[in-house]
């Protein structure tokens, strides 16, 4: 991978999105599964988050502006009947650029963790995808943080089935055991 706009690794970003107590996808209140490959969806998802209502949110993690733009050149988009909401997660250093690419409105650069004002979605974002900004910080309590800057439109209201929930839990279990195996080497 080329230049990034953050020093955080993908694993650190995933941990902020899932383990930061004020994250909208905190793992103590949601099922959060990283790196869901082809087979469950028609594309790979960096993070899938299941709500108590069994609705799925996809989070696409980006570490640089060029990585973000590359997403729009793929052969597929993030449309899928199981995805209820979709977010791009980007470093705060490119938050304004991403905001301006996806939305028409006011981005509060001084306070990127407050909700920005969206007047309209640009032609780059016709489905109304949301935006999460993450950052390395140190406010004495929390080292890293993330926040929804723009909420995602509801793309569908189709809960997943019990079997699909079981499949997600199985995938999560596989991730845990693969990490345990790797840590033994």
Instruction: Please report the sign of the dihedral spanned by the C-alpha atoms of residue 61, residue 14, residue 91, residue 21.
Output: positive
* Dihedral angle over CA of 22, 24, 29, 34, nearest 10: -110
Domain boundaries, the chain: 10-184
Which band of pLDDT confidence, cut at 50, 70 and 90, is reported for residue 37? confident
Mean pLDDT of the chain: 84
Chain segment 51-83, per-residue pLDDT in tens: 999 999 999 999 999 999 999 888 777 888 999
Q: Residue 99 corresponds to which tokens in the numbers above?
A: 């905001």
How far is the C-alpha of 63 from the C-alpha of 2, rounded, in Å? 10
Chain segment 115-157, per-residue pLDDT in tens: 667 777 888 888 889 998 888 765 544 456 777 778 889 999 9
Task: Give me the pLDDT at residue 9, please.
Answer: 87
- pTM score > 0.85 for this model? yes
Short-list 37, 144, 35, 148, CA closest to 86: 148
3-state secondary structure of 96: helix
**Who wins on pLDDT, 106 or 95?**
95
């Amino acid at each position: 991978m080329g230049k990034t706009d953050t020093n955080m690794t993908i694993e650190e970003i995933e941990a902020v999105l899932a383990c930061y107590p004020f994250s909208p996808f905190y793992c103590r209140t949601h099922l959060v599964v990283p790196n869901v490959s082809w087979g469950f969806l028609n594309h790979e998802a960096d993070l899938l988050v299941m709500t108590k209502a069994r609705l799925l949110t996809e989070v696409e993690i980006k570490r640089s502006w060029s990585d973000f733009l590359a997403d729009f050149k793929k052969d597929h988009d993030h449309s899928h009947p199981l995805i209820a909401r979709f977010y791009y997660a980007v470093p705060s250093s490119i938050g304004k650029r991403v905001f301006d690419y996806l939305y028409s409105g006011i981005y509060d650069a001084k306070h990127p963790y407050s909700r920005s004002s969206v007047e309209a979605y640009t032609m780059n974002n016709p489905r109304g995808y949301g935006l999460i900004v993450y950052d390395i910080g140190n406010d004495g309590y929390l080292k890293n943080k993330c926040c929804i800057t723009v909420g995602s439109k509801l793309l569908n209201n189709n809960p997943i089935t019990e079997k699909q929930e079981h499949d997600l839990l199985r995938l999560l279990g596989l991730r845990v055991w693969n990490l345990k195996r790797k840590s033994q080497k």
